[in-house]
């Protein structure tokens, strides 16, 4: 019987096991699940950061932007484009769109595909102002080949993860986030800051409209645990012997619903057909055989098709690098804490920069307020250059008056600056005022979140 080296087998098993774990972590963190703070998957974050970094204020070919984004997200331009399409205002998948598109980007309730990336264009959306306000407050990390950097999260100014619905599937985890009304979410943040906890139950609000059949028990599950069943129904009205559908449930398309209805072969329904191209107030119509059979047809269609269905909400998000399933109220709590952390870092960075500005301005004012020394310094710099000027400052001013690290800076100012020193006094005073404002914000973070 052939003998095997058990140590080699054990080593191979460990290699496969460790490799699978590494792969799983990579997919969960870097591909499939959104972050609890900004509500973005890495591909979405890299798309909008590329737009922001490159200041794409005029329309650019989608294919070009996809190529630029590959520097941060090396998983193929088609994958980037598929994600970008859903982020545009023309597709309609997001309640708070992040990319301004021009061209055919498909639609959230249609199966019609978007145009190829060479035919569409994109640029910065005005909404991105809410995503990149405090960049000094977030951590920047190297990209995959360390040629540039990217933010770990975007410093978004509201809990975007609750406003834009998204879904994802990873190794052992899946996510199916419901979306809520922007105002309701912001009011929940205010409630948490004011009371120290959340207690208001808010209803989902999906971009495709339709009805949410309220179920208090399920909503409580969503608020507290992050998992529940939401019954969604299309918005309809009756016109004679026709049932007209004006809004479809989120996650369902016109084509899918029409096929389901026609495949039923109900005796009370003669036909269901698309009206989206002909009447903007109606997406599709269901033609019943008689007026008296409209209620019968409607009941059967709701029962047997996705004109009404249960949306399985699953609020699984990335929290501190790991997946967690958490309720809406917990998301608000964690978001507020993270927002305070980002604002604290941002304001401290600004205060440090302003203090340095004031320090430099006052050092220069010390030099120019002495008329005799100022004239000598200007003549020396004019005749012999800044090196001689540095030596003069070092020999004629104490280190309390002009610190050692500021000597070169003061000697390198343009000559007119020595005669117009007043602007440096204004600069120092302005910096002091801004520092006072920032220090007030730091001590009252609840008011500025």
Task: Give tens-digit pLDDT for 197-220.
Answer: 999 999 999 999 999 999 999 999
* Model confidence band, residue 21 (pLDDT cutoffs 50, 70, 90): low
> Read out DSSP for 323-383?
EEE--HHHHHHHHHHHHHHHHHHHHHHHHHHHHHHHHHHHHHHHHHTSHHHHHHHHHHHHH
Q: Is 33 in contact with 41 (CB distance < 8 Å)?
A: yes
* Model confidence band, residue 281 (pLDDT cutoffs 50, 70, 90): confident
Lowest mean pLDDT among 38-47, 221-230, 270-279, 314-323: 270-279
pLDDT tens digits for range 431-441 = 999 999 999 99
Q: Is 106 in contact with 91 (CB distance < 8 Å)?
A: yes
The catalytically annotated residue of 20, 23, 119, 273 is: 119
Report pLDDT for 287: 96
- Evaluate if residue 23 carries a pLDDT over 70: no
* Model confidence band, residue 7 (pLDDT cutoffs 50, 70, 90): low
- Evaluate if residue 349 carries a pLDDT over 90: yes
pLDDT tens digits for range 136-173 = 999 999 999 999 999 999 999 999 999 999 998 877 78
* Model confidence band, residue 276 (pLDDT cutoffs 50, 70, 90): low
Lowest mean pLDDT among 8-12, 285-289, 308-312, 414-418: 8-12
CB-count exposure of residue 143 (10 Å: 0-12, 13-18, 19+): middle
Identify whether 192 is a catalytic site residue.
no
Q: Is 204 in contact with 230 (CB distance < 8 Å)?
A: yes
Q: Tell me which DSSP letter residue 194 carries.
A: H
- Beta strands in 148-241, from DSSP E residues, in sequence order: 149-151, 166-169, 174-177, 211-213, 227-233, 235-239
Query: Highest mean pLDDT range out of 120-129, 357-366, 382-391?
Result: 120-129
Report pLDDT for 136: 95
Question: What does the mean pLDDT of the chain come to?
Answer: 91
Report pLDDT for 72: 96
Region 96-114: mean pLDDT is 95
* Model confidence band, residue 2 (pLDDT cutoffs 50, 70, 90): low
Residue ranges of the alpha helices (H) in 35-181?
42-53, 62-69, 77-87
* Model confidence band, residue 14 (pLDDT cutoffs 50, 70, 90): low
Region 167-186: mean pLDDT is 91
- Evaluate if residue 120 carries a pLDDT over 90: yes
How far is Cα 38 from Cα 153, in angstroms, rounded to an integer? Answer: 6
Residue that wins the pLDDT comparison between 21 and 208: 208
Report pLDDT for 159: 98
How far is Cα 316 from Cα 324, in angstroms, rounded to an integer? Answer: 5
């Amino acid at each position: 019987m052939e003998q095997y080296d058990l140590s080699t087998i054990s080593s191979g098993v460990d290699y496969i096991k460790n490799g699978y774990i590494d792969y799983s972590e990579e997919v969960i963190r870097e591909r499939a699940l959104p972050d609890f703070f900004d509500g973005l998957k890495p591909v979405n974050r890299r798309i909008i950061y590329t737009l922001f970094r490159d200041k794409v204020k005029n329309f650019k070919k989608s294919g070009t932007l996809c190529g630029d984004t590959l520097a941060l997200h090396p998983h193929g331009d088609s994958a980037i484009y598929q994600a970008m399409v859903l982020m545009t205002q023309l597709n309609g998948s997001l309640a708070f769109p992040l990319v301004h598109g021009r061209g055919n980007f498909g639609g959230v309730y249609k199966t019609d595909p978007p145009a190829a990336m060479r035919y569409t264009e994109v640029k910065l959306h005005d909404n991105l102002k809410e995503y990149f306000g405090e960049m000094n407050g977030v951590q920047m990390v190297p990209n995959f080949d360390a040629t540039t950097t990217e933010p770990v999260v975007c410093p978004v100014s509201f809990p975007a993860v609750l406003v834009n619905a998204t879904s994802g599937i990873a190794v052992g985890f899946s996510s199916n986030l419901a979306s809520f009304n922007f105002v309701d979410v912001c009011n929940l943040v205010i409630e948490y800051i004011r009371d120290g906890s959340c207690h208001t139950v808010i209803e989902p609000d999906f971009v495709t409209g339709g009805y949410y059949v309220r179920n208090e028990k399920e909503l409580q599950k969503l608020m507290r645990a992050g998992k529940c069943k939401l019954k969604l129904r299309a918005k309809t009205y009756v016109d004679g012997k026709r049932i007209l559908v004006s809004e479809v449930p989120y996650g369902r398309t016109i084509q899918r619903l029409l096929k389901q209805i026609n495949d039923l072969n109900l005796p009370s329904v003669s036909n269901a057909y698309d009206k989206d191209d002909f009447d903007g107030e109606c997406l599709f119509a269901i033609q019943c055989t008689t007026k008296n059979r409209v209620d019968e047809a409607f009941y059967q269609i709701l029962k047997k098709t996705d004109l009404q269905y249960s949306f399985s909400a699953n609020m699984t998000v990335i929290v501190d690098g790991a997946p967690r399933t958490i309720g809406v109220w917990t998301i608000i709590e964690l978001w507020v804490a993270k927002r305070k952390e980002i604002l604290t870092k941002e304001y401290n960075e600004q205060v440090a920069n302003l203090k340095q500005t004031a320090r430099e301005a006052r050092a220069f004012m010390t030099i120019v307020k002495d008329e005799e020394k100022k004239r000598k310094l200007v003549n020396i710099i004019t005749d012999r250059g800044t090196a001689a000027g540095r030596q003069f400052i070092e020999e004629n001013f104490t280190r309390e008056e002009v610190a050692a690290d500021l000597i070169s800076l003061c000697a390198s100012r343009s000559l007119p600056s020595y005669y117009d020193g007043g602007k440096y006094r204004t600069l120092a005073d302005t910096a002091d005022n801004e520092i006072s404002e920032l220090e007030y914000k730091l001590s009252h973070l609840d008011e500025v979140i």
